[in-house]
Each structure stands twice: as structure tokens, then as C-alpha cells.
């Protein structure tokens, strides 16, 4: 998912006195940029909102671009070469798209049988050929829609032949390969060659899960039944007596502990994400399930949808670190304090300021902020401290709730119990009854 945004610099930026050399920044630009960043983190920015779609998944092309890295570009032609060489051995005079369904099904079974060889290089070559089939045999297509059509057709062929179960067994074998893990731990740097087998397997499984996650418009009744069975099996303990997501979570734990640094973790997390969506459903499915359960239990309907509330909220970026947050709060507090002091007493206040140091750079920055505060009579900070004297009737005022923009889901007593247990655990202090 992509998020695009641009920072609009304040048009009240001051220009320095004198000439400025070519290529050198204008005086005040750097501090103005930092000031706008601080306002943005405080929720008072004038910059536009981010163009971000808050949904379960992005479009098909965007999801594929997130799965593959730039260094995997040459492997697309390698996968195609492996498939075409194997296809010519059995069907020398036809392409994949020219075969009938029975011939395609027979060749798919031959590819799956070849996955059981013990030689790693031969097994990897066959896995690349299967990956090319799962990618939609793009070398024989002329448009993106045609690639999507053949990809869905090929993935159902692989599913019918039992390819996913075979891939899970191979993935489990690669995860339990202690020799590969020990070699990766001893290496000073990990390369793509260390995770080639895992990347090919994860790419095939991701394409299958992502394509079978949603029902197609032109799916036949047989395909619909196969898809529902696949989603049910994916969330059931049919893979080594555990759900498939448990195997992926185990890979994440092994990678985080440092025992398998060669695992392609981005692909693992993407596959885990699509597996959760396929087995548990997305936002809409969750909302429907909530409504059904509340109706069965005799509870009132939900007053609002938290996901819709979040979609309408403005995007906010937290500060870089806790020290930046503390610095922002201190500077904002000092600016609000200084705004209340009359101009004739401002110099005397600066002399008594305990935070003032001898560093000339800090003095310039403080003076710059004071001048910018005086030059911006309509700034947000001054409006908050000194509201306009015009009064409005109470009926015309908007009631803006303080806190979260949605109704809380817990009781006040539960919050008090949580705070009490946290104080007792981390501070060793409890409040009196």
C-alpha cells in the first residue's frame, strides 16, 4: 500500500538580509521546516492528509509489486526458462495456453511428482517451473487481464492436483534444515542465494492463497466448492496437526531469535497476513460476525463501526524518539507562557529564564521562535491561549468530545483495575482504598 504526501512550507517564511550564495539555503528555511514538522506531530499541521486507503488489501498489481524485490527481476525469465524446457520434453509442438485441460492437468501432475526428487538442484528447477505456472504463464499472454485469467485457472489446477500440501511439506523441510541455519548464522552477511528455495516456495504459496482468498465473478460451482474447502483446511489443524499459520509464526520466532537469519521475513509476513485474511476474514466479515453474535446473545446492535471511524481520521506521524517528544512539549509550553506576558516585560522574563544557556545557537533558535510568534498573529498556539472575545450562544457551539473519537468498549472499573495492577507490577505502589 502506498502513501503519498507533500509538505507545504509556510508562506510566512522570512528571508534573510543580504545576499545568499548559490546552492546555500536561505536563512530561516531550516528552522521553518523543523517548526512545521513539530506542528505536524502535534496535530496542528497545515499540510494535506496522506492519500492512504485503509482496507484489507490493495489492488492486484500493488500486492505483486510488494511481494517481489528488485533483485528478483531476473528470476522471472529463469522461471519461464525452467518451465518451457520441461514442457518441450513432453509436448514439443504446443504452448501451455494451447493445451486442453486434460493435458494441462497431466503436466501439472508430472511437475508435482518431480518435486519429490532428492537432488536439490532438480527440485529447485521444478519448483521454479511451478512458480511460472502460478504466475499465470505471462510469457504467452498479451495483457494484464489475460495474465490474471490464466493465473486463476492455473492455480485451481495446482490446487486440484494437491500442490499446496506438497509445498507445505517442502517448506517444513526447509525450516527444519539445521545445516542451512547453522551456515547462515556463521556467515557475516546474508545474500539472496541463502534463501532461494524458501523464496520460491513462499512465492507460490502466496500467489495461491491470495488468489483463492476471494471468490471470482466467473467461478464455476466446482471452483467455488474447492475454494471453500481450501479456506477451511487452511484454518484447520491438517498440516502436521497444526494450522498453517502456526508454521509461519514459528518461522517468525526462529528468525527473531537469530537462529535462522536467512529466512525471507517479508515474504513470510505477507503470506501470514493473507493466510489470516483467508481463514478469519477481513473487516467486513468481522463486522458481520459481531452483529450476528450480538443478535444471538440478545445484545443491542453496535452503535458505530470502529474501522469506519479510523478511515475518516487524519493520518498522524509520531515523533522520531521520546526525547523529541519531550523537547516539543517543553518548547510549546514555553511559547504559550511567553505569549501571555506583555511585551515590556519580555526582556526581564528572558533574564530570569532558568533554561537560558550561554550557547549562541540556542539563543538564535529561541529568538527565531519569538520573532515567528510575533510575526504570526493568527497562529494556532496564540488562538488556543487567547481565544477571541466574540461570544456565541451555547446552542451554536459544537460539542467536540475529548479523548477517542469513538465510544469506549470497556468499563471505567476495568480501566481502574488495569491501572492498579500496572502500578503494583512496575512501580510497586498501590493506592489506598
Express each pLDDT in 277-326 by its tens digit.
Answer: 999 888 888 888 988 999 999 998 888 777 788 777 777 666 566 666 67
In a domain, 81, yes or no: yes
Q: How far is CA 42 from CA 46, 62, 105, 318, in A?
A: 11, 32, 60, 9
What is the pLDDT, as a whole number, of residue 405?
Answer: 64
Higher pLDDT, 346 or 326: 326
Flag whether pLDDT at 70 surpasses 60: yes
pTM over 0.75: no
207: closest CA among 278, 124, 112?
278
Q: State the Cα–Cα distance between residues 245 and 234, nearest whole angstrom.
A: 8
Higher pLDDT, 367 or 12: 367
In-domain check, residue 332? no
What range does the domain containing 74 cover? Answer: 60-281
Query: Which CB contacts under 8 angstroms, 24+ apart, belong to 16-24?
Result: none
Q: What is the pLDDT of residue 321?
A: 64
4 pLDDT higher than 90: no
- In this prediction, residue 398 carries a pLDDT of 46
What local confidence, expressed as pLDDT, does residue 424 receive?
Answer: 82
Dihedral pair phi/psi, residue 263, rounded to 5°: -65, 130
* Mean pLDDT, all residues of the chain: 76
Question: What's the start-to-end Cα distance of the chain, in Å?
Answer: 50
Contact (Cβ atoms closer than 8 angstroms) between residue 184 and residue 255: no
- Which one is predicted more confidently, 183 or 86? 86
Between residues 411 and 225, the one the model is more confident about: 225
Let me know if residue 188 belongs to a domain.
yes
Whether pLDDT at 171 is above 80: yes
Residues 6 or more apart whose CB falls under 8 angstroms from that of 130 comprise 111, 112, 115, 158, 163, 204
Can you tell me which residue has the cell 502513501? 3
Task: Check pLDDT > 70 for residue 9.
Answer: no
Residue 254 has pLDDT above 80, yes or no: yes
Decide if 373 is inside a domain: no
Q: What would the mean pLDDT of 81-110 be, rounded to a whole number?
A: 92
Query: Is 258 in a helix, a strand, or coil?
Result: coil
**Is position 383 within any domain?**
no
Q: Going by C-beta distance under 8 Å and a sequence separation of 6 or more, which residues neighbour residue 33?
A: 7, 9
Confidence of residue 33 (pLDDT cuts 50, 70, 90): very low
Q: Cα separation of 212 and 214, whole Å? A: 6
Residue 406 lies in a domain: no
Q: Which of 19-28, 29-38, 116-125, 282-291 has the lowest mean pLDDT?
A: 19-28
Band (431; pLDDT cuts 50, 70, 90)? confident
Q: Quick check: is 364 in a domain?
A: no
Q: What is the mean pLDDT of residues 65-74?
A: 90
Cα(197)–Cα(236) distance, integer angstroms: 26
Classify 98 as helix, strand or coil.
helix
The percent of residues in the chain predicted with pLDDT above 70, rounded, is 67
The band of 23, judged by pLDDT with boundaries at 50, 70 and 90, is very low
Is residue 320 situated within a structural domain? no
**Would you place residue 126 in the very low, low, confident or very high pLDDT band (cuts 50, 70, 90)?**
very high
Res. 376: pLDDT tops 50: no
Give the pLDDT band (50/70/90) at residue 367: low
258-277 burial, b at 16+ Cβ within 10 Å, e below that, comes to eebbbbbeebbebbbbbbbb
Q: Over the stretch 199-222, which tens digit does the pLDDT of each residue have? A: 999 999 999 999 999 888 888 999
Mean pLDDT (whole number) for 62-74: 89
Task: Answer yes or no: is pLDDT of 426 > 90.
Answer: no
Average pLDDT score over residue span 266-273 = 95
Give the pLDDT score at 256: 92
* Sign of the alpha-carbon torsion through 134, 138, 140, 146: positive
- How many domains does the chain contain in total? 1
- In the predicted model, what is the mean pLDDT of residues 409-423? 84
Residue 327 has pLDDT above 80, yes or no: no
Amino acid at each position: 500500500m502506498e502513501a503519498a504526501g507533500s509538505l507545504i512550507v509556510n508562506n510566512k517564511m522570512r528571508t534573510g538580509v543580504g545576499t545568499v550564495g548559490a546552492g546555500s539555503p536561505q536563512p530561516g528555511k531550516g528552522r521553518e521546516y523543523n517548526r512545521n514538522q513539530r506542528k505536524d506531530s502535534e496535530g496542528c499541521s497545515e499540510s494535506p492528509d496522506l492519500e492512504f486507503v485503509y482496507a484489507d488489501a490493495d489492488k492486484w498489481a500493488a500486492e505483486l509489486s510488494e511481494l517481489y524485490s528488485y533483485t528478483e527481476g531476473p528470476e522471472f525469465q529463469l522461471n519461464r526458462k525452467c518451465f518451457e524446457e520441461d514442457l518441450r520434453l513432453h509436448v514439443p509442438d504446443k504452448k501451455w495456453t494451447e493445451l486442453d485441460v486434460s493435458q494441462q492437468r497431466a503436466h501439472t501432475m508430472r511437475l508435482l511428482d518431480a518435486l519429490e526428487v532428492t537432488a536439490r538442484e532438480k527440485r529447485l528447477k521444478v519448483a521454479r517451473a511451478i512458480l511460472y505456472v502460478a504466475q499465470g504463464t505471462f510469457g504467452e499472454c498479451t495483457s494484464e487481464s489475460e495474465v490474471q485469467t490464466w493465473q486463476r485457472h492455473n492455480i485451481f489446477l495446482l490446487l486440484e492436483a494437491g500442490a499446496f500440501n506438497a509445498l507445505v511439506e517442502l517448506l517444513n523441510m526447509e525450516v527444519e534444515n539445521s545445516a542451512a541455519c547453522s551456515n547462515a548464522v556463521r556467515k557475516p552477511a546474508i545474500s539472496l542465494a541463502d534463501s532461494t528455495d524458501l523464496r520460491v516456495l513462499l512465492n507460490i504459496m502466496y500467489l495461491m492463497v491470495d488468489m483463492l482468498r476471494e471468490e471470482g465473478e466467473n467461478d464455476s460451482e466446482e471452483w467455488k466448492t474447492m475454494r471453500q474447502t481450501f479456506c477451511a483446511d487452511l484454518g484447520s489443524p491438517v498440516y502436521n496437526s497444526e494450522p498453517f499459520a502456526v508454521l509461519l509464526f514459528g518461522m517468525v520466532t526462529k528468525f527473531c531469535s537469530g537462529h535462522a537469519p536467512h529466512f525471507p521475513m517479508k515474504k513470510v509476513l505477507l503470506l501470514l497476513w493473507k493466510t489470516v485474511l483467508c481463514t478469519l476474514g477481513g473487516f467486513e466479515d468481522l463486522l458481520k460476525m459481531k452483529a450476528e453474535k450480538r443478535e444471538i446473545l440478545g445484545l443491542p446492535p453496535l452503535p458505530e463501526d470502529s474501522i469506519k471511524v479510523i478511515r475518516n481520521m487524519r493520518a498522524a506521524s509520531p515523533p522520531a524518539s521520546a526525547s523529541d517528544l519531550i523537547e516539543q512539549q517543553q518548547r510549546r509550553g514555553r511559547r504559550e507562557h511567553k505569549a501571555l506576558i506583555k511585551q515590556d516585560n519580555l526582556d526581564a522574563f528572558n533574564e530570569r529564564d532558568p533554561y537560558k544557556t550561554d550557547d549562541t545557537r540556542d539563543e538564535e533558535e529561541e529568538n527565531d521562535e519569538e520573532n515567528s510568534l510575533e510575526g504570526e498573529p493568527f497562529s494556532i498556539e496564540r488562538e488556543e491561549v487567547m481565544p477571541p472575545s466574540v461570544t456565541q450562544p451555547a446552542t451554536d457551539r459544537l460539542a467536540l468530545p475529548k479523548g477517542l473519537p469513538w465510544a469506549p468498549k470497556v468499563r471505567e472499573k476495568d480501566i481502574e483495575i488495569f491501572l492498579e495492577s500496572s502500578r503494583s507490577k512496575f512501580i510497586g505502589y498501590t493506592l489506598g482504598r
